[in-house]
Amino acid sequence: MKCPRCNVDLQPAIRHKIKVNACPSCKGMWFDCQELEQLEDEVFDFGEHAKGTLVTSAVPTSDKCPECGAFLNRFRYRFYDLEMELCDRQHGFWLEADEDDRVLELMKHEEVDLQRKLIAEDRWAATLKRMRSGSFLGKLRDLFR
């Protein structure tokens, strides 16, 4: 599996309790698609109203999916202003270096006391876990159809 940017081999890594494939050069991270139980996925049902408000600006990039080589689409997910690149064939999504740290910091700022900072990390892990589910990626893709 090659980095979409650098074309070097991605290495398995653990970021904030999440297994990813990370680039040793640019430090970007690939989150491959993982199927989850239906129940968990329902939390992320957008509904008609959310369309166009949660996700904005899908832009084609010259970065290639590590799994199929198709060009990735960059978009912004308004939830924590997260920017990522998605494979249209639902293989997964790409996050740039430290993008996950930035979101985690935002989550932590929402928490009041020290003890709850630990909860922020769990929440981020749960968020990423849901976002890499096949049906979630499919919904994202459908927003641009």
Contacting residues toward Zn ion, per CB under 5 A: 3, 5-6, 23, 25-26, 65, 67-68, 70, 87, 89, 91
CB of 132 to Zn ion, least distance (A): 13
Nearer to Zn ion, 91 or 132 (CB): 91
Amino acid 48 reads: E
CB of 53 to Zn ion, least distance (A): 26
Nearer to Zn ion, 87 or 107 (CB): 87
Q: What 3-state class would DSSP assign to 51? A: coil
Nearer to Zn ion, 89 or 116 (CB): 89
Nearer to Zn ion, 65 or 104 (CB): 65
Q: Which of 16, 41, 42 is nearest to 29 (CA)?
A: 16
Q: Give backbone dihedrals phi and psi of 100, rounded to 5 degrees, phi first.
A: -70, -35
CB of 55 to Zn ion, least distance (A): 19
- Region of residue 17 (phi > 0: left; psi between -120 and 50: alpha; otherwise: beta): left
CB of 69 to Zn ion, least distance (A): 7
For residue 40, give every residue at least 6 positions away whose Cβ sits within 8 Å of its Cβ, in sequence order, or none.
129, 130, 133
